[in-house]
Structure 1
Amino acid sequence: MNTVTSGVNFRLFYRTAKQLCVSAGIGLLLCPASFAANYSVHDSDSLTQQLKTVSAGDTVSLQAGNYLGHFEIHQPIQLIGEPGAVIDAKGTGSAISVFSSDVSLTSLKIQNWGGDLYELNAGILIKEQAQRVRIESSKLQGDGFGIYAENTSHITVANNVITGNGRLYKLDRGDGVYLKGVDVSVIHDNQISDVRDGVYLETSTNSLVFDNRFHSAQYGIHYMYTKHDEAYGNQVNNVDGGYAIMSSEFVNLHQNQAANTLDFGVLLNISNHCIVSNNRMSLGHNPQGTPELGNEGKGIFIYGARDNEITYNLFSTSDIGIYMAMGGEKNKVYGNQFVNNKTQVKYVGDALLEWSHDGRGNYWSGYMGWDTNHDGIADKAYRPNDNLDKLFWLYPEARFLMNSPVVALLRWVQGQFEFGPATGIIDSFPLLTTDREL
């Protein structure tokens, strides 16, 4: 990278020419040699001064060394870190604040920014209306938000390692990537850990989040009041919840994984028109979970959500495979595999729900049904729960009776006669094979 050492006259000509290109509506790339310059800085003072005098389209490179303080970008430039360059915010405020659109931040190492979430302390703080900002191949470690953006569009976060402070209580940490009111964001191939939420999206639209790795956080991806989002290829491990979709619409969550979750793999909370398909959710377990509190580990938790599709997922080895409550009846649930969950289904509602579609139901481990025509579908409908299960959910103090001879007799009688209107879950076409790879 060349260091520009031209005199005052050249600088004046250079900037005047660039301004003429911009004022004439000519893109910088069409101007002679783009009038772009490369600058190299070596300490905090030279970086601060260069950011004050840099022009649109320029590149600023950080030589190896420590850059202490807080830095602001007001022009559409590229900021690149060379090996050994470290930006250190000295424990306060935001390390880099971006005020301009069309900024690219690459190969930076940023650390030790502030932890005041109310003041929006962040490793990289993207100000309102600073559009088309790209952050890639960087390492960020600090207490507050890793990357924060609000009321803007076209934000890209790619190939970064973002680490919070694992010694802090989870809700006191900042999120790895926090986007509020952001339209069109692409977040991919990042490793994010020890934060509050890996990626938090609020009142945002058209996000694409893929191939990220999250661990040691509250949630991997958290949607709140969002629309038209997509997430795939993400992996979540050792979190409270994998993918939380709250008060959102048209979220397409597919081909993701979550394991070792405390509360849920997927949460659909008062969300509509979402698709949850071909995901693998396993090992949802809460050691302190109790039926009284309803806080057992769940593969998927559907709460007050309707008109969603839950298809071709694997929900395995959790306290509860699928938990549905508070008006979650109007959803399509078919083609899924419920494997070795302590309780396959928990639904304490007053409706009879059909969990099959076009002659295809779900696979239930432990269910032994007849298949006389060898089509892989049981001849008889499957009821994963009965009225006695519902009774024990409502009155968990009676669970000690579950394996008693009296309850066994009541289950037999219930199977012979129907008392009152049928409620619960029925799968009219339960699958006997797992022929679809997940």
Structure 2
Amino acid sequence: MAALLVGSAGGAASAAQIDVVPASDLQSVLNAANDDDVIRLAPGDYLGPIRIERKLTLIGRAGAAVIGQGQGSVITVAAPDVTVRGLTVRGSGRDLQAMDSGIFLMESAERAVVEGNAIVGNLYGVNVYGARGARVSANAIDGLRGLRLNEAGNGVRVWNAPGVVVDGNTIRYGRDGIFSITSTKDRFTNNRFEKLRFAVHYMYTDDSEVSGNVSVANHGGFAIMYSKRLIIRGNVSERDRDFGLLFNYANYASVDGNLVVGGPLSGISADFDVTDNEKGMVPKQEASGTADIGPGKCVFIYNSNKGRFRDNWFESCGIGVHLTAGSEGNEIAGNAFVANRNQVKYVGTRDLDWSKGGRGNYWSDNPAFDLNGDGIADTAYRPNDLVDRVLWTAPTAKLLINSPAVQVLRWAQSQFPALYPGGVVDTHPLISPPSKPSARRIEP
């Protein structure tokens, strides 16, 4: 074991700084260390896998790498208050059931800190397996490439770990950027996601926050499912294929200041088989000529209730908002719907007023006037009519869209609002768009 004890004072229990060179048996160094020791790795490769069972700090100088042997997790943390910083970590196994990871934080690894590492070529990047209060920040996490979805792991996986913070990471390749299940009071902030299925995927995670993240050209942006009382704020979805924001049985969510912008789909990753999407997770692209732009839906709200959607910007999608009939009591006001092919798709017949306190939304296709100059259009805005409902239920009817009969029907509805079948109405539409949320970038 070639390790140098740099400093210790006062006795065996005192903290020490231990410098380690690549010829060392790293696991033996870790086993011999005391609580609060700092283990510093010189540049070079160190043989993994390793297991940390004491409260210590493991730091890599530039060029230090812990290399697994293709079986199990590369670094397993089993003690509380451990820090892993500045390392390259690669070479995990590929056992999905065992969740082989670059860094595996066990339930006993409370308050672990994983920061500033390059975690590349592993099945899972960081697996927070019940480690309460852990922090995963400023890492570059690249998963395995060329896998089908049912073979891929996630960049960061959080299970039953309250108080976790995942902040400032760049995550690429694999299944989902961050996948959280059965947890609470977590914060996922300021991360960048590329070449993934979903940027963030929430399942049964309550009282948590997703804010300041950027999702670029993934299959889907932010998928929030079976969770409640969430804050979804200030995120960016750019050119994600299927949706920017998806809410499935997500209740009491506060969704504000998000930016969803479509564009050409040519940048979407083909690094795994896109036919392997889990059944029911991803809404299909609308069969309305939207294949050249993305997302298919800026927002998809499915059986989600009592949400508050404010000050968001939804632009250049196939559908601005797709709202299902099982979604009740949602407040949708102060948002901008800009240049979407269909601003709203709502298949229910109940009248829904998308305004609050005398303030509605901005609709780029609304030709109304504001004669009194109060910033509110003089007439209500209805995004859908009877023709839209026919097209949704019988798509082949699009062959008749330019026929005189259809045009007469639409004119009649515009003259006699009682002919409208019910649905979304904005009684106080904005005449000018609100401020556009910042499309800031988090550089890789």
- With normalisation by structure 1, the TM-score equals 0.90
Establish whether residue 105 from structure 1 lines up as the match of residue 123 from structure 2: no
**Letter aligned with residue 320 of structure 2:** G
TM-aligned CA deviation for residue 417 of structure 1: 3.5
Q: 1:223 to 1:284 in 2, by over 3 A?
A: farther
- Give the aligned partner of residue 50 of structure 1: 29
Q: Distance in 2 between matches of 1:330 and 1:147?
A: 38
State the 1:53 CA deviation: 1.2
Distance 1:339 1:392 in 2: 22
Deviation readout 1:260-312 (Å, 9 max, x if unpaired): 11111001110101011011001177798334999971100000001001111
Equivalent AA in structure 2 for residue 38 of structure 1:
Q
Structure 1 stretch 292-301 or stretch 400-409: which is displaced more? 292-301
Matching residue of 2:200: 221
Quote how far apart the aligned CAs of 1:144 are. Answer: 0.8
Structure 1 CA distance for aligned equivalents of residues 365 and 407 of structure 2: 18
Counterpart residue identity of residue 144, structure 1 = L
Which is richer in strand?
A: 1
Gaps of 5+ in 2: 267-283, 438-444
Q: Per the alignment, in what secondary structure is the counterpart of residue 97 of structure 2?
A: coil
Q: Contact 1:329–1:353 (CA<8 Å) still a contact in 2?
A: no
Write the distance in 1 (CA, Å) between the matches of 2:380 and 2:427. Answer: 4
Give unpaired runs (5+ residues) of structure 1.
19-34
- Write the mapping of 1:118-137 to structure 2, written as runs, cut at 5 A: 118-137=97-116
Percent of matched pairs sharing the same residue:
35
Q: Deviations over 1:140-191 (max 9, x none)?
A: 1023110002223001011110001232123422111101001001111111
Contact 1:114/1:121 (CA < 8 Å) preserved in 2? yes
CA drift at 1:327: 0.6
Aligned residue in 1 for 2:286: 290
2:45 maps to amino acid = N
Higher relative contact order (CA 8 A, sep 6+): 2
The answer on 1:347 being equivalent to 2:326 is no
Point out the more displaced range, 428-437 or 413-422.
413-422
Instruction: Give, in angstroms, the shift of residue 415 of structure 1.
Output: 2.8
TM-aligned CA deviation for residue 414 of structure 1: 2.5
What is the distance in 2 between the residues matched to 1:132 and 1:341? 44
**Are the counterparts in 1 of residues 245 and 300 from structure 2 also a CA contact under 8 Å?**
yes
Letter of the aligned partner of 2:330 in structure 1? N
Whether the aligned pair in 2 keeps the contact of 1:308 and 1:330 (CA below 8 Å) is yes
TM-score (structure 2 length as normaliser): 0.89
Structure 2: distance between partners of 1:274 and 1:36: 46
Which amino acid in 1 is paired with 2:404? P
The structure with more helix, counted as a fraction of residues: 1
Query: What is the 5 A alignment of 1:150-299?
Result: 150-283=129-262, 289-291=285-287, 297-299=296-298
- 1:79 corresponds in structure 2 to 58
Which structure: larger Rg? Answer: 1
| Closer, same or farther: CA 44–276 of 1 in aligned 2, 3 Å | farther
Distance 1:193 1:279 in 2: 21
Instruction: Indicate if the aligned counterparts of 1:96 and 1:124 stay in contact, CA closer than 8 A.
Output: yes
Quick check: 100-109 or 280-289, which moved more?
Answer: 280-289
Q: Is the 8 A contact 2:40 2:60 kept in 1?
A: yes
**Is residue 14 of structure 1 aligned with residue 11 of structure 2?**
yes
Q: Which 4+ residue blocks in structure 1 deviate beyond 3 angstroms?
A: 284-288, 290-296, 416-422
SS state of the match for residue 27, structure 2?
helix
